[in-house]
């Protein structure tokens, strides 16, 4: 069974044919919808700006949000502290 499907996405007044895995369809369509929502909001706010510049602003906004999300979900400092505490506990129990 072929788990790939062909869909058409409309983003910024352009049509994009894509072949995607069936299980990705909802996410892909929602992503395109979110781009168009933000694009339309920027178009409303910056009426004289061209589509190319507005799309750059939308891409920048998504990139900033991704970076913020990645920082919130960075577990490295916690993992380092857990290792440090584990070492302390192991040393403590080895002494006894």
Tens digits of per-residue pLDDT, 20-62? 999 999 999 999 999 999 999 999 999 999 999 999 999 999 9
Q: How far is residue 24's CA from residue 72's CA, in Å, rounded to a whole number?
A: 25
Q: What is the pLDDT of residue 71?
A: 83
Please give the pLDDT value at position 96.
65
pLDDT of residue 25: 96
Residue 1 has pLDDT above 60, yes or no: no
First to last CA, the chain: 61
> CB atoms < 10 A from the CB of 24, how many?
15
pLDDT at 66 over 80: yes
Determine the pLDDT at residue 81.
81
Query: What predicted TM-score, i.e. pTM, was given to this entire model?
Result: 0.69
Rounded CA gap, 27 and 20, in Å? 11
């Amino acid at each position: 069974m072929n788990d790939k499907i062909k869909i058409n996405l409309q983003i910024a007044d352009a049509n994009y044919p894509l072949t995607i895995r069936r299980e990705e369809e909802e996410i892909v369509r929602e992503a395109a919808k979110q781009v168009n929502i933000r694009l339309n909001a920027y178009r409303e706010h910056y009426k004289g700006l061209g589509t190319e510049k507005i799309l750059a602003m939308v891409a920048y906004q998504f990139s900033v949000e991704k970076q913020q999300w990645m920082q919130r979900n960075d577990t490295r400092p916690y993992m380092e502290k857990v290792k440090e505490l584990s070492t302390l506990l192991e040393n403590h129990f080895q002494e006894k």
